[in-house]
Structure 1
Amino acid sequence: MIVEVVTGADERPEVRVVDVDDLARLHLALGQVTDEEADEALRAAGLGRLEDGESGVLDAAALRAAAEAQAGSPAGADDWGRRWEGLLATARDRGWTADDGAGLKVHVESAAGA
């Protein structure tokens, strides 16, 4: 799953959650936006915040709500939920959760082509 912050309409940054069925990976991808614009867009969307140019924290509950709404077929909802819980378990095991436990630490990559 990828959370993208890219230049949207009227050159304003917008946040998109894409590749929602790929729960084997999670990262934040920034397009042609400044760190400040990315942080502001993430906060405005209620999805998290940018820590610095290399890392961010995503709100797990908000991310799940945004992603689950786009996930595959309704028949696969139980499977998606199990895989989501697996993603959270892996994040906890590897220390990729924020101090408050409600956020997931992610690394930042380029959203080239986005």
Structure 2
Amino acid sequence: MIVEVVGGREERPQARVVDVDNLTALHLALGEVTDEEAAEVLERAGLGRLQDADVAFLDAAALRAAAEPRASAPDWASRWDQMVARARSQGWLSEDGASIRVPVESAAGA
């Protein structure tokens, strides 16, 4: 699953959740936006916050709410639970379980 923050010179940056059936990897992909724009868009969308240029914390409940209605895999809910459990075992889940620590990558081509 990918959370993208994309925009451009002529566009207002926006956040979108894509590749919702792929629960083997989760990251934040930034297009042609500044870190400040990305942080603002993530927070405005309620999807999380940018810690720095390399790490973001995504709100697990908001991410699930955005992705699940568009998921097509019949076992999506159980695969989501497995992804969250994997994040917890790797130390990527916040102590309260509300946020998932994810890497920030380039959204080249987004």
Q: TM-score range by the shorter chain?
A: over 0.9
Q: Which letter does structure 2 place at the counterpart of 1:66? A: A
Aligned residue in 1 for 2:62: 62
| Deviation at residue 11 of structure 1 after TM alignment | 1.6
Q: Which letter does structure 2 place at the counterpart of 1:5? A: V
Q: Which letter does structure 1 place at the counterpart of 2:6? A: V
TM-score scaled to structure 2, two decimals?
A: 0.95
2:96 and 2:79 map into 1 onto residues whose CA distance is 22
RMSD of Structure 2 on Structure 1 (CA) = 1.4
1:112 and 1:89 map into 2 onto residues whose CA distance is 29
> Given the alignment, which residue of 96, 99, 102 partners 1:103?
99
TM-score scaled to structure 1, two decimals?
A: 0.92
Q: Which letter does structure 1 place at the counterpart of 2:77? A: G
Matched, 1:87 2:83: yes
Structure (1/2) with the larger helix percentage: 1
1:101 and 1:70 map into 2 onto residues whose CA distance is 23
| Deviation at residue 69 of structure 1 after TM alignment | 1.3
Q: 2:71 is paired with a residue of what secondary structure?
A: coil
Q: 2:6 is paired with a residue of what secondary structure?
A: strand
Aligned residue in 1 for 2:18: 18
2:7 and 2:96 map into 1 onto residues whose CA distance is 30
1:108 and 1:69 map into 2 onto residues whose CA distance is 24
2:96 and 2:84 map into 1 onto residues whose CA distance is 14
Aligned residue in 1 for 2:49: 49
1:95 and 1:30 map into 2 onto residues whose CA distance is 23
2:42 and 2:31 map into 1 onto residues whose CA distance is 13
1:47 and 1:103 map into 2 onto residues whose CA distance is 9
| Deviation at residue 98 of structure 1 after TM alignment | 2.0
2:95 and 2:34 map into 1 onto residues whose CA distance is 26
